[in-house]
Amino acid sequence: MSKGAKIGIGILVIIVVFAIILFSTFKNAYNSFVRLDEEVNNSWAQVQNVLQRRMDLIPNLVETVKGYANFERETLEAVIQARANATRLTVDAGELAKNPEQLSQFMGAQNGLSAALGRLMVVIERYPELKANQNFIRLQDELAGTENRIAVERRRFNETTRTYNQKIRQFPDNIIASMFGFQQRPYFEAPQEAQQAPRVDFGSSNR
């Protein structure tokens, strides 16, 4: 075999090895992006599940409170309206990266509902008979548990999103992510104006 042929074979081997390494790098990075993307979607689904659980509990809470004739109507109507606002807005997991403004509006509505519930619980402190109502006590416990789950799932979503965002920003992953259209995901954080809203603390009522 001539020297030129050997050099040609050597170059061909190098090209093949390089192609295999490049393919493996792209494949591993892409599969990693897909896995992390699905984890973000699953985390968001859990957030929506616990938020829906809160939505489902509020009508029963409203009916219980309405039974007290002297209860402040304006406070109760604020909860009803806040729930209606939150119910109208939905966010699909696949749209989080494409439309972060939609998530911001969704968060604003959910924080508005939390604030309205917080004000409701403050007013209920003036009604010892209502606080002693067994149906209200049960609903209060369920809402408290739901609020805790919302905080947990929201934190998990943000942690999963952070892992995903860090991955697609690292070199050379950022190049591959850009080629395949993987975009950064927004976090589920409270808007600045909502951070001063009354905190919902269902465990503060005396029974």
Domains in the chain (CATH in brackets) are 33-204 (1.20.1440.20)
Report d(CA 93, CA 201) in Å as an integer.
29
Confidence class for position 70, pLDDT limits 50, 70, 90: low
pLDDT above 90 as % of the chain:
38
Backbone torsion region of residue 89, taken as left when φ is above 0, otherwise alpha when ψ lies between -120 and 50, otherwise beta: beta
Angle at 142 between CA 197 and CA 207, to 5 degrees: 85
Query: Mean pLDDT for the chain?
Result: 83
Report d(CA 198, CA 194) in Å as an integer.
9
Confidence class for position 198, pLDDT limits 50, 70, 90: very low
pLDDT above 70 as % of the chain:
89
Judge whether residue 204 has pLDDT over 60: no
Phi, psi of 127 (to 5 degrees): -120, 85
Judge whether residue 33 has pLDDT over 90: yes
Confidence class for position 128, pLDDT limits 50, 70, 90: confident
Tell me the CA distances in angstroms from 92 to 99, 149, 183, 197, one per residue in order: 10, 20, 15, 26
pTM of the model: 0.77
Q: What is the dihedral of CA 40, 46, 50, 56, to 10 degrees?
A: 110
The mean pLDDT of 79-100, rounded to a whole number, is 83
The mean pLDDT of 140-157, rounded to a whole number, is 92
Judge whether residue 88 has pLDDT over 70: yes
Judge whether residue 164 has pLDDT over 70: yes
Identify which has the larger pLDDT, 38 or 25: 38
Lowest pLDDT segment from 39-48, 87-96, 149-158: 87-96
Q: Which of 131, 105, 145 is nearest to 206 (CA)?
A: 131
* b/e sequence 55-80, b meaning 16+ C-beta within 10 Å: eebbeebbebbeeeeebbeebbebbe
